[in-house]
């Protein structure tokens, strides 16, 4: 079974797919209200242990942390924090499952999963549309403004990561 993780200090998407490529677990772990870095990591550790108890994970795939700056996006401080958290969660995966995680960029994961993002469109929206069409049990709610509720995109991205490992 494959565990796909879209790691963030605010919401981490986690998906487990079975040996046939079926999604059997898909959640968003919300740590936005938890203040401390290590307290957030402890929550993730607990969830990983729950997964280890329930599923025989044989492969872990994690979205590669951002490596460069882009105008209008994350600051150096944010990128450093995310990279640090990614490293801590990677270690938690290794110590929990005894498996070295595989790191895949979001672009590569989408390509391996069979998702094409046309120029000028938002990747997150294309991914969500693809997941809606291909994963029958994927459900989510909308905000009053009509946007997917927090955690939806994280769950969808974690599915893409797991599928990329399954299909490659």
**Which domains occur in the chain, in start order?**
2-167 (3.30.420.10)
Q: Tell me the per-residue pLDDT of 115-146, one tens digit each, with 9 for 90 and over.
A: 989 898 888 999 999 999 999 889 998 899 98
Q: Would the CA dihedral through 70, 73, 79, 85 be positive or negative?
A: negative
Instruction: Sheet with 102-104: list strands edge to edge.
Output: 23-30, 11-17, 2-6, 59-63, 102-104
Indicate the pTM of the whole model. Answer: 0.89
Degrees, nearest 5: CA angle 1-109-141: 80
Assess whether pLDDT exceeds 80 at residue 90: yes
- At residue 65, what are phi and psi to the nearest 5 degrees? -70, 155
- H or E segment to which residue 3 belongs: strand 2-6
Residue 27 and residue 18 in contact, taking contact as beta carbons nearer than 8 Å = no
Assess whether pLDDT exceeds 70 at residue 73: no
Mean pLDDT confidence for 82-87: 89
């Amino acid at each position: 079974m494959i565990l796909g993780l879209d790691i963030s200090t605010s919401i981490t998407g986690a998906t487990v797919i079975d040996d046939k490529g079926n999604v059997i677990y898909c959640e968003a772990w919300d740590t936005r209200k938890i203040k401390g870095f290590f307290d957030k990591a402890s929550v993730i550790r607990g969830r990983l242990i729950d997964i280890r108890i329930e599923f025989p994970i044989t492969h872990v795939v994690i979205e590669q942390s951002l490596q460069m700056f882009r105008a209008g996006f994350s600051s150096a401080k944010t990128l450093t924090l995310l990279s640090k958290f990614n490293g801590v969660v990677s270690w938690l995966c290794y110590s929990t499952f005894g498996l070295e995680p595989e790191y895949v960029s979001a672009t590569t994961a989408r390509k391996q999963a069979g998702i094409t993002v046309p120029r000028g469109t938002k990747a997150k929206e294309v991914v969500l549309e693809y997941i809606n069409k291909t994963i029958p049990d994927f459900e989510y709610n909308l905000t009053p403004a009509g946007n997917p509720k927090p955690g939806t995109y994280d769950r969808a991205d974690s599915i893409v990561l797991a599928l990329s490992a399954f299909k490659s």
